[in-house]
Amino acid sequence: MQHNKKSLEAVRHSLSHILAAAILEKYPKIKLGIGPTIEDGFYYDFDFNVSNEKRIKSNKSRIENLGNTQTYSKETRETIDLIEIEKQMRKLIKQNLQFKKESITFAEAKKTFSGQPYKLELIKELAKEKLKSQIKIQNLSIYKSGNFVDLCRGPHVKNTKEINPDAFKLTKIAGAYWKGSEKNPMLTRIYGIAFKNKKELDNYLKLQEEAEKRDHRKLGVELELFLINDEVGQGLPIYLPKGAMLRHNIMMFALNTYLEREYQLVTTPHIGSEKLWTKSGHLQFYKENMYSPLGIEGENYILKPMNCPFHIQVYKQKIRSYRDLPMRLTEMGTVYRYERSGVLHGLTRVRGFTQDDGHIICASNQVKSEIKKALELTIYILTTFGFKNFEINLSVRNPKSKKNYAGSEKKWKMAENALKQALKESGIKKIIKDVGGAVFYGPKIDIKVKDAIGREWQLSTIQFDFNLPDKFEMFYIDEKNKKQTPFMIHRALLGSLDRFMGVYIEHTAGAFPLWLAPIQVAIIPISQKQIDYAQKIFHFLKSENLRVELKDANETLGKRIREGEIQKIPYLLIIGDKEANNKTVNIRHYRRGVEGEINIEGLIKKIKKDITEKAI
Amino acid sequence: MQHNKKSLEAVRHSLSHILAAAILEKYPKIKLGIGPTIEDGFYYDFDFNVSNEKRIKSNKSRIENLGNTQTYSKETRETIDLIEIEKQMRKLIKQNLQFKKESITFAEAKKTFSGQPYKLELIKELAKEKLKSQIKIQNLSIYKSGNFVDLCRGPHVKNTKEINPDAFKLTKIAGAYWKGSEKNPMLTRIYGIAFKNKKELDNYLKLQEEAEKRDHRKLGVELELFLINDEVGQGLPIYLPKGAMLRHNIMMFALNTYLEREYQLVTTPHIGSEKLWTKSGHLQFYKENMYSPLGIEGENYILKPMNCPFHIQVYKQKIRSYRDLPMRLTEMGTVYRYERSGVLHGLTRVRGFTQDDGHIICASNQVKSEIKKALELTIYILTTFGFKNFEINLSVRNPKSKKNYAGSEKKWKMAENALKQALKESGIKKIIKDVGGAVFYGPKIDIKVKDAIGREWQLSTIQFDFNLPDKFEMFYIDEKNKKQTPFMIHRALLGSLDRFMGVYIEHTAGAFPLWLAPIQVAIIPISQKQIDYAQKIFHFLKSENLRVELKDANETLGKRIREGEIQKIPYLLIIGDKEANNKTVNIRHYRRGVEGEINIEGLIKKIKKDITEKAI
């Protein structure tokens, strides 16, 4: 049984009705909420809090508490046996039930759903809307399948024959407030997933399992990389020594690469006067992403959500000539952007993050080559970190609503063409064009990467800006001694260092390559006897600027090796009597396994090679 | 004629009266403000804004407008001839006038100063104070010298014979509000300096001239190191590419040195929840230095004035054992502290700055050796930057007010002894003990440096903290499996990177050593003919990771060399036909002068040696 995307949507939607039907059979007095489809599946909300029947057998292994939805109400915390419900759903599916759409009046609807207060509330709201909108909503649509009836717009499958009974699964239960408001009752939400076939379901489950193992929040704790707590504030990560070292290594690689490529370093403050944000237009267009101001001697200052206005100050420090262009400014700039606590997620969604930011200010005849250079640099940076699959998105104007964009027709045409040409000349074949995806201030290229388990992450962005050069009256003196407005290109290649770290931890599952690893080498003497020799090796490797740890002989050898493996340290150097006598070490590499005995000269050569080649 | 410090104070104070007397002789209707002594001299405030006599001949070269005192009132902007006034003062001094103290009643005082509204205001205030304080201020003291009389507590010289007429000078005129409030009239302040003898006066003037040349605010503009403007906000420096590179080099040297010395890097956010600052005690003890909070979802967050509470979170990430100690955490942490706009000064007094911060958490038996290590590290760091003269200050408790300090008697004794012992064992001979100079949370060592022209700057600090370990309930498990409170030592060796940069720019007069210079080498081909060869050298030096600039042949050779010298670039490489043919360059070193022709191999060797040795 195969489905296209649209019919899979119908299958998922129909499964939510089947779920509700199955629950109703078991708990006839239950009150129904809503049951929509979501990414990969569906859910249905129920209010069990109505009779004694609410006390249901538990199946604790399948219960999960969602981070931001509070705990269940006490009554429904007793749990539901999802496997039993699944069985019941399969029974219903096998009855080849038809999904029949009917149109009924508001009066009929009230009667049909008389025992269902949440449905009645929805009907009441629809009636209100009908009055307000003055559109002719004469009737409401319902769907019937077997004994079950629901207020619903569809679409659904025609018959449960279309549903593969082996390609769905109920996944978890969580509490969720009716209509998402904590003023309303807490309902019990049952989630399910559904796919074309069992293979896809299994793949999905495997991916989920793999993703859970790689969850950077979990690895962040296990590998002692970072912590986030309430005392400091949510969305404000504190990097522990190992995480800070990893972050530093990533940052220094990016920074040094940019400096080699003729970027100039600048350093700017974290707050700026309201005057600046007014002039830049941020207070007009970006206010909802900015934090509330703090006052200093009667003037308001705001945490910077972007570095651009500061970089423009650097440009404007003196009168620029065409000889100064292209000017490429870079900063590892920490910005603060408002996020609701509900959407915060480890390092990938935070309230303060550091961009590997850069602004290229150039003349029109430099635009294409600068875009090409930025693209090439992006691919180089991402490839160095081991990402191989990229998706290039080109976001241009919606040609039907040209009035919504800043900058002249001529500039837009030039910029969009420059982007297209640059992509073409860079040999990039597959480009996903997003018409209308441009920001108001200019067209852009976004680069997504696929991680080790196939998930996509948007990291890099290269954006034109026609807005700020105008607002700040930026200019340069051209060859003919005339004032010209320069072009400005924003670019962040890792994007946010913090988000990048989150993605990178998941991509590598925390097994960082030697050049980045916070601890590169662990020395493990088999017993106390080799401790002197181990210490010599330790100090020697440190003098070679390596990040080394000596795991002393207080624990068993097995435990120390296991510890090194759990920490995912690239090189474990085991030292026994033989190695101490031979002046060697025995390499156990995290990825390559046991590599055996090697003398110190050979070891250093091997390690340095891995570092220079940035071997994965 | 020699004076001790106390009598020099009397001379300066007496000179302020002589100044007022001289002014009064020339402008009899003038109104007098006050005339105290200040560091190195004295001033007197006058209100010229009373009659037509206020229009005074100008002597513009001696007029200066103080940064934060606004402009003169229009009437007094016409300027006073300071040289003429000085002459008049010398005449008065040579009359061997006596300074006679008299005690008069409030009623008599009102009569004596009847034509002087500012003096009358002061008399009125003193009368009020008398009522409030209920102390028996029966009379007021005045000083008479010749025809001049002033309301004054003294002390003064007995006779103007004691004043060396060649050892003083009037230096500048500035506007100053009466009592420093902008609600009051703007008065004209005349400043003077006075010393023991002419030699000291001349030395002082020479130093002032030298200091002006080295002013980092002036050099900051000339060398394009940083800018501060109103659009972004006062006290918030933006580092231009050269300044940012210099700062980066300084920072990386400090950071890498700390990492080599077994410090662990951490990275923490710039804002923290009010909860954190309440727990740490900052909101109780440090609030006036903190900025107003910003709100996120009903919770207040504050820009961090210190990094300590964040570093404590790192320590508390898990249960620590004695094996984890000493734990040395470091961060280049940017903190924000409230400063009034009036006291802001270039980079040395700003609103946001980056500390080369570190916290050492250790057991009591590690305290002394950790202090010694920190001291040794401080001296190493400062010496590397070319500072040779240090002043070590040991600040201990005031034993008479033990109640004002946090931490037990036992801890204070131990800590003060540890500091003393560490200083002694480090071979530091001259220690300035500051009894009562300790902060409430612990004793400390401050290190001041003398710069190239003999001025003292406080940079480094090593401080005990008995407060935070208690507030955050920090502990570790000792050898006997018992909970112990660790000791915590704050240390910042450069102090504030930004302030350090300000001091360092003045110390070096902007001529940075090769290892730090933003531009290390400038290549200057004599004419267009050598451009290809010059470019080859340029790319070769860049590939050797040097910061190089190619000064192309559009300008005259002389102009380009001068430009290189104004920019204080360590190595200028001149390339003529001879050098191009011989595959050499001709070195002109900023400090060492012309060093002549050298082949490229020799050049690289020379340069690398300077860098490795961190040659000044």
Under 8 Å CB-to-CB from A411, ≥6 apart: which residues? A466, A487
Q: Of the listed A31, A308, A311, A491, which one is catalytic? A: A308
Single-letter amino acid, residue B118: Y
**What is the average pLDDT across B118-125?**
93
Q: Where along chain B do the CATH 3.30.930.10 domains lie?
A: 222-268+307-508
A residues 281-300 lying closer than 8 A (beta carbon) to B: 291-297, 299
Cβ neighbours, 10 Å, residue A79:
17
Q: Is B3 a catalytic residue?
A: no
Task: Region of B593 please: left (phi>0), alpha (psi -120 to 50) or beta.
Answer: left
In chain A, whose CA is at the least distance from the CA of B317? A227
Contact residues on chain B for A272, CB-CB shorter than 8 A: 232-233, 236
In angstroms, the CA B401 to CA B437 distance is 12
Nearest to B252 by CA among A227, A311, A267, A272: A267
Q: What local confidence, expressed as pLDDT, does residue A131 receive?
A: 77
- Tell me what the mean pLDDT of segment B2-7 comes to: 64
Of A241, A294, A317, the CB nearest to B240: A317
CA distance B164 to A238: 63
Each residue of B190-199: pLDDT tens digit?
A: 999 999 999 9
Instruction: Spell out the CATH class of A521-612.
Output: alpha beta
Tell if the CB–CB gap between A296 and B239 is shorter than 8 Å.
no
Distance from CA of A241 to the nearest CA of B (A): 5
CB B267 to CB A275 under 8 A? no
* φ, ψ for residue B364, nearest 5 deg: -60, -35
Residues of chain A with CATH 3.30.980.10: 5-213
Q: Do B314 and A268 touch (CB under 8 A)?
A: no
DSSP A51-82: SGGG-----GGG----TTS-PPPHHHHS---H
Task: Identify the active-site residue in A150, A357, A446, A498.
Answer: A357
Closest Cα in chain B to A302? B294
The pLDDT value recorded for residue B41 is 95
CB atoms B241 and A314 under 8 Å:
yes
Which positions ≥6 away from A362 have C-beta within 8 Å? A325, A326, A327, A370, A486, A487, A489
Tell me the one-letter amino acid at A489.
I
Contacts of B273 in chain A (CB under 8 A): 230-233
Secondary structure (3-state) at B528: helix
Return the biggest CA–CA distance within chain A: 94
pLDDT digits (tens, 9 = 90+) for B145-186: 999 999 998 899 999 999 999 999 999 998 899 998 888 998
Q: Quick check: B352 contacting A, CB < 8 Å?
A: yes
Domain with CATH 3.40.50.800 in chain A: 521-612
Question: Residue A112: CB partners within 8 Å, gap ≥ 6?
Answer: A104, A142, A149
The predicted pLDDT at position B50 comes to 54
Cβ(A499)–Cβ(A353) under 8 Å?
A: yes
Contact B232, A272 (CB under 8 A): yes
Residue of B nearest to A328 (CA): B241
Q: Are B616 and B603 in contact (CB under 8 A)?
A: no
Q: In the predicted model, is pLDDT for residue B569 greater than 90?
A: yes
User: Which of A41, A36, A118 has the alpha carbon at shortest distance from A86?
Assistant: A41
Q: What is the mean pLDDT of residues B296-315?
A: 96
For residue B267, which residues of chain A lie inside 8 Å, CB to CB? 238-239, 243-244, 247-248
CA neighbor of A356 nearest in space, from A438, A461, A455, A505? A461
Is residue A427 less than 8 Å (CB to CB) from chain B? no
| Contact criterion met (CB below 8 Å) for B56 and B27 | yes
Which 3 state secondary structure label does DSSP give A441? coil
pTM: 0.86
Residue B351 and residue A279: Cβ atoms within 8 Å?
no
Residue of A nearest to B289 (CA): A296
Q: Distance, in angstroms, between A460 CA and closest chain B CA?
A: 23
For chain A, say whether B269 makes contact (Cβ under 8 Å): yes
Q: φ, ψ for residue A531 (rounded to 5)?
A: -65, -40
* Nearest CA distance, B216 vs chain A (angstrom): 17
State mean pLDDT over B553-560.
89
Indicate if A189 belongs to the active site: no
Q: Would you state the pLDDT for residue A78?
A: 53
Q: A222-268+307-508 adopts what CATH topology?
A: BirA Bifunctional Protein; domain 2 (3.30.930)
Q: Which residue of B has its CA nearest to A220?
A: B317
Query: Do B238 and A268 count as a contact with CB atoms less than 8 A apart?
Result: yes
**Residue A378 in contact with residue A493, Cβ under 8 Å?**
yes
| CB contacts, 8 Å: A230 with chain B | 273, 275
Q: Choose the catalytic residue: B337, B491, B499, B551.
A: B337
Is residue A187 a contact partner of residue A44, using CB atoms and an 8 Å limit?
Answer: no
C-alpha to C-alpha distance for B507 and B219, rounded to whole angstroms = 12
CA separation for the pair B338, A106 (Å, rounded): 64
Q: Calculate mean pLDDT across residues B283-290.
A: 91
Place of tokens 């002039």: A279
Q: Which residues of chain A are within 8 Å of residue B294 when distances are taken between CB atoms?
A: 291-294, 303
Check CB contact under 8 Å for A247 and B267: yes
ipTM, two decimals, is 0.86
- Chain B nearest-CA distance from A228, in A, is 10
Share of chain B above pLDDT 70, in %: 93
Interface test with A, best of B246, B265, B472, B546 (most A CBs within 10 A): B265
Chain A CB contacts of B279 under 8 Å are 231
Contact A601/B at CB under 8 A? no
Residue A490 among the catalytic residues? yes
Q: Which of A447-457 are b and which e, b meaning 16 or more Cβ less than 10 Å from the residue's Cβ?
A: bbbebeeebeb
Q: What is the pLDDT of residue B68?
A: 32
How much is the pLDDT for B443? 94
Name B33's Cβ contacts closer than 8 Å, sequence gap at least 6: B44, B45, B46, B47, B118, B178, B187, B189
Residue (of A146, A115, A153, A141) closest to A31 by Cα position? A115
B chain contacts of residue A265, beta-carbon cutoff 8 Å: 241, 244-245, 248
Residue A4 confidence (pLDDT): 64
Tell the residue number behind the tokens 């944000």, with chain if given.
A277
DSSP B219-266: HHHHTT-EE--TTT-TT--EE-HHHHHHHHHHHHHHHHHHHHTT-EE-
Beta-carbon pairs below 8 A across chains A and B? 167
Per the annotation, the verdict on B400 as an active-site residue is no
pLDDT at res. B52: 30
Q: What is the pLDDT of residues B236-247, one digit of tens each?
A: 999 999 999 999
Cβ contact, residue pair B230, A267, below 8 Å: no
- How distant is the Cα of B293 from the closest Cα of chain A, in angstroms? 6
Question: Is A341 in CB contact (< 8 Å) with chain B?
Answer: yes
Put simply, the answer to whether B265 touches A293 (Cβ < 8 Å) is: no
Q: Could you confirm whether A17 is annotated as catalytic?
A: no
Nearest Cα of chain B lies from the Cα of A295 at a distance, in angstroms, of 6
Beta-carbon separation of A233 and B299 below 8 A: yes
Question: Are A233 and B336 a contacting pair at CB < 8 A?
Answer: no
Q: Across chain B, what does the average pLDDT equal? A: 91
The active-site residue, picked from B355, B463, B520, B567, is B355
How do residues B241-267 score in pLDDT, each as one tens digit? 999 999 999 999 999 999 999 999 999
Residue A428: the pLDDT is 86
CB B548 within 8 Å of CB B563 = no
Q: Are A116 and A31 in contact (CB under 8 A)?
A: yes
Give yes or no: B491 in active site.
no
Q: How far is A227 from chain B (nearest CA, A)?
A: 8
Q: Is the pLDDT of residue B59 over 90?
A: no
Res B553 pLDDT > 80 = no
Answer whether A40's CB lies under 8 Å from A171's CB: no
**Dihedral (CA of A507, A510, A511, A516) sign:** positive
* The predicted structure's pLDDT at residue A180: 86
Question: Which residues does chain A have within 8 Å of residue B268's beta carbon, measured at their own beta carbons?
Answer: 232, 238-239
> Which residue numbers in chain A have pLDDT < 70?
1-6, 50-79, 134-137
B58: Cβ–Cβ under 8 A, 6 or more apart, which residues? B78, B79, B81
Nearest to B352 among A271, A275, A295 (CB): A271
Chain B interface test: which of A301, A539, A551 (most B C-beta within 10 Å): A301
Query: Does A308 qualify as catalytic in the annotation?
Result: yes
The token pair at B106 is 């409030």
Residue B263 · residue B330 · CB < 8 Å = yes
CATH of domain A5-213: 3.30.980.10
Peptide bond preceding B399: is omega within 30 degrees of 0, i.e. cis?
no
| Catalytic position from the list A3, A17, A217, A359 | A359
